[in-house]
Structure 1
């Protein structure tokens, strides 16, 4: 199996995992009155996941054109924006953790911070894949 198809499948899986984590984070934090992670407010896990899934599908389709490269660059920019959003979300939410313990259960706070950490890790992985693809795509033709 070619490397580009494997990377496409990995991108789709990253998108699906981020989407699942985002839906879970929103369903846990939105009904409560306590502080919420910044990533829940921005909805990055939803729109970022859609971009990653489309980007992975284009990679599997083997359409290496200039339009494809532009879609990869958009995916890379989205991954970088996601890294910034989730890093800021983790930073801000860790300062609000004491307030969070008063309004939510501490398990919910820890779960939200953990999910944000996983989303951050997957966004870093997605950006690494996109950098690899963007700098090596002419060799694939």
Structure 2
């Protein structure tokens, strides 16, 4: 056999009734890997975003407590002394960021990290609810007990109780979101993560 004939191209001619398979359609579309059903992926992203917003709002109310410290106040409010608005906001933002990262790329490590951060968020929200309940009891007449001016007392006391009420609502909402993710993610423990991830 001659070396020139070994590398000569071969042309195939097909009759009109035979179709040529289309090789350019062999590329498959890959869905994003996620250890949860598609219905839950958008809910996970929304929950993570809400957790980040709750953390930012908790931090903002903590900053407001810093600027409301004026002369008639004998001390900082109990909730500010515990530092709850600051350390809870760090945990809430981290757990929300883990959920958003989990929605984008679902790996076994991210699932475990999201569960851990949400467990910490559940604990932080539970402690926050307890601290806020004590804050309502201890600081009920926070300014009115020390200030002789009734007009200033009422205005600042209403603002103070409103901030405590908002912090309580944020803590309850964070508790529900973090607990719901922790509960729903336990249902997928039976599945092998390697087939999803």
Pair in the same fold by TM > 0.5: yes
Shift, 1:81, TM fit: 0.5
Root-mean-square deviation over aligned CA pairs: 2.1
Kindly report which structure 2 residues correspond to 1:19-34, keeping only aligned pairs within 5 A, or say none.
19-29=59-69, 31-34=70-73
User: In the alignment, what sits opposite 1:14?
Assistant: 54
Give the unaligned 5+ runs of structure 1. Answer: none
Larger CA Rg, structure 1 vs 2: 2
User: In the alignment, what sits opposite 1:68?
Assistant: 114
Q: Does 1:42 align with 2:88?
A: no
Q: In 1, distance between residues paired with 2:60 and 2:51? A: 14
Shift, 1:100, TM fit: 4.3
Q: In 2, distance between residues paired with 1:48 and 1:22? A: 10
Q: Does 1:3 align with 2:43?
A: yes
Q: Number of residue pairs matched?
A: 140
User: In the alignment, what sits opposite 2:182?
Assistant: 134
Q: In 1, distance between residues paired with 2:142 and 2:186? A: 47
Q: In 2, distance between residues paired with 1:95 and 1:21? A: 19
Shift, 1:139, TM fit: 4.7
Could you report, residue by residue, the CA deviation over 1:52-77 in whole angstroms, capped at 9, with x for unpaired residues?
01110110001542232111111100
Kindly report which structure 2 residues correspond to 1:69-108, keeping only aligned pairs within 5 A, or say none.
69-96=115-142, 98-102=144-148, 105-106=152-153, 107-108=155-156
Could you report, residue by residue, the CA deviation over 1:75-131 in whole angstroms, capped at 9, with x for unpaired residues?
100010011111110121114453144389322222111101100111001001111
Give the unaligned 5+ runs of structure 2. Answer: 1-40, 189-195
Contact 1:101 1:109 in 2 (8 A): no
Q: In 1, distance between residues paired with 2:181 and 2:146? A: 41
Q: TM-score, normalised by structure 2?
A: 0.64
Q: In 2, distance between residues paired with 1:131 and 1:23? A: 27
More relative contact order in 1 or in 2 (CA 8 Å, sep 6+)?
1
Pick one of 48, 54, 58 that aligns with 2:98. 58
Contact 1:76 1:130 in 2 (8 A): yes
Q: In 2, distance between residues paired with 1:67 and 1:13? A: 20
